[in-house]
């Protein structure tokens, strides 16, 4: 695979990257997908997906990704489940470094997605995986009959809290404002659930625990008062950061690190295209990511045609 000059290298294997792969391979472009050592993106951390068209009964996130991967491979894409650690967009063909070896390609589709945002408060980092999580569908069963806290006010926080109520005895959402940002329908579900209560206008300022999380210190931002809350688990659901670090200095990024497309899916480097959550800070849905993957692949195929 390293000896081939690929028509297209796709970096990332969420809905954007895998959809791009379906289109580039069907467009007769030889395609390698550098999918990351944790492949599949955020849907791998989700339970039922009810809003992806074509699945009237819903579909489990990992099952959906497995189907997308199979579909891409069916048309001839090669899949490498490793991380790209470096890219060189100053040479042609482009060079991508993966775990010491190098892949070359005439075009690249960036589909690296976005990563969980953490609070960044003292004590948090040490306790991730020790009572601190960002994935209720993955970890909720560990908190059977326990007391857990969810941080955030968006749809993710609502969803995490609702999933947790299936196991936990009580769930508290802590939000830094006095109203949620989440969609009305999600808020209604949360307010209707007797296991969930909300602490408004409050931020976590410190996390404490020896082997696992034991308590957090929260501050009411209006009254400037702090208090300690004992808990068994904390789920952080405050959004995501785009996974664009390896493109810094090469690809135009905005102040938050999202790739800034020039026109359609084109980036500032000719032959490099972008799709999905790494550039989409608005919609962030699996279906929009898939749509962006399709757009990037079509732009990429046009580019390859002109190149040849």
- And the tokens for 95? 């060079």
H-state helical runs in 27-110: 61-74
| The one among 177, 212, 227, 230 contacting ligand NDP by CB under 6 A | 177
| The one among 68, 77, 140, 151 contacting ligand NDP by CB under 6 A | 151
Q: Which stretch binds ligand NDP (CB under 6 A): 67-75, 194-202, 231-239, 249-257?
A: 231-239
- And the tokens for 228? 């300690």
Q: Does the footprint of ligand NDP cover residue 47 (CB under 6 A)? A: no
Q: What's the rounded Cα separation, in Å, for the pair 214 and 235?
A: 13
Q: Does the footprint of ligand NDP cover residue 293 (CB under 6 A)? A: no
Which phi and psi (to 5°) does residue 278 adopt?
A: -70, -15
Measured in Å, how far apart are the chain's first and last C-alpha atoms?
21
Give the x/- contact pattern for ligand NDP in 238-277, rule: CB under 6 A. Answer: xx--------------------------------------
Q: Nearer Cβ to ligand NDP, position 238 or 297? A: 238
For the four alpha carbons of 258, 261, 267 and 273, in that order, the dihedral sign comes to: positive
Residue closest to 91 by CA, chosen among 284, 264, 271:
271
In whole angstroms, how close is the CB of 229 to ligand NDP at the nearest point? 15
Q: Which stretch binds ligand NDP (CB under 6 A): 89-97, 103-111, 154-162, 244-252?
A: 154-162
In whole angstroms, how close is the CB of 239 to ligand NDP at the nearest point? 4
Q: What's the rounded Cα separation, in Å, for the pair 137 and 193?
A: 18
Residues 270-289 that bind ligand NDP (CB under 6 A): 284
> Is 252 considered catalytic here?
no
| The one among 153, 242, 261, 271 contacting ligand NDP by CB under 6 A | 153
Cβ neighbors of 117 (< 8 A, separation 6 or more) are 236, 238, 239, 240, 241
Q: Nearer Cβ to ligand NDP, position 34 or 289? A: 289
- Asked if residue 165 lies in contact with residue 173, where contact means CB atoms within 8 angstroms, the answer is no
> Is 145 considered catalytic here?
no
Tokens 């976590």 belong to residue: 204
Q: Identify any residues that bridge with 110 across adjacent strands, giving them in sequence order.
A: 11, 274
Q: Nearer Cβ to ligand NDP, position 40 or 153? A: 153
Which residues are catalytically annotated? 135, 138-139
Q: Footprint of ligand NDP on this chain (CB under 6 A)?
A: 119, 151-157, 159, 176-177, 181, 203, 237-239, 284
């Amino acid at each position: 695979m390293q000896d081939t000059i690929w028509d297209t290298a796709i970096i990332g294997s969420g809905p954007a990257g895998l959809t791009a792969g379906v289109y580039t391979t069907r467009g007769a472009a030889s395609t390698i997908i550098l999918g990351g050592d944790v492949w599949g993106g955020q849907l791998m951390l989700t339970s039922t997906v009810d809003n992806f068209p074509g699945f009237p009964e819903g579909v489990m996130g990992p099952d959906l990704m497995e189907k997308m991967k199979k579909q891409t491979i069916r048309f001839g894409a090669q899949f490498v489940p490793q991380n790209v650690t470096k890219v060189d967009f100053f040479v042609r063909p482009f060079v991508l470094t993966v775990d010491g070896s190098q892949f070359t390609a005439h075009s690249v589709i960036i589909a690296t997605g976005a990563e969980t945002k953490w609070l960044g408060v003292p004590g948090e980092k040490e306790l991730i995986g020790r009572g601190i999580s960002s994935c209720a569908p993955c970890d909720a069963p560990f908190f059977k009959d326990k007391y857990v806290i969810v941080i955030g006010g968006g749809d993710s926080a609502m969803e995490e809290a609702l999933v947790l109520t299936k196991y936990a005895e009580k769930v508290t959402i802590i939000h830094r404002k006095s109203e949620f940002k989440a969609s009305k329908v999600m808020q209604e579900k949360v307010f209707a659930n007797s296991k969930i209560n909300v602490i408004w206008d409050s931020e976590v300022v410190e996390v404490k625990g020896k082997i696992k999380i034991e308590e957090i210190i929260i501050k009411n931002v209006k009254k400037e008062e702090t208090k300690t809350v004992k808990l068994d688990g904390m789920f952080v659901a405050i959004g995501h950061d785009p996974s664009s670090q390896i493109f810094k200095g090469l690809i135009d990024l905005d102040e938050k690190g999202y790739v800034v497309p020039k026109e359609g899916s084109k980036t500032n480097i000719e032959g490099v295209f972008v799709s999905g959550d790494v550039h989409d800070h608005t919609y962030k849905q699996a279906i929009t990511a898939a749509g962006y993957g399709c757009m990037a692949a079509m732009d990429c195929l046009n580019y390859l045609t002109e190149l040849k």
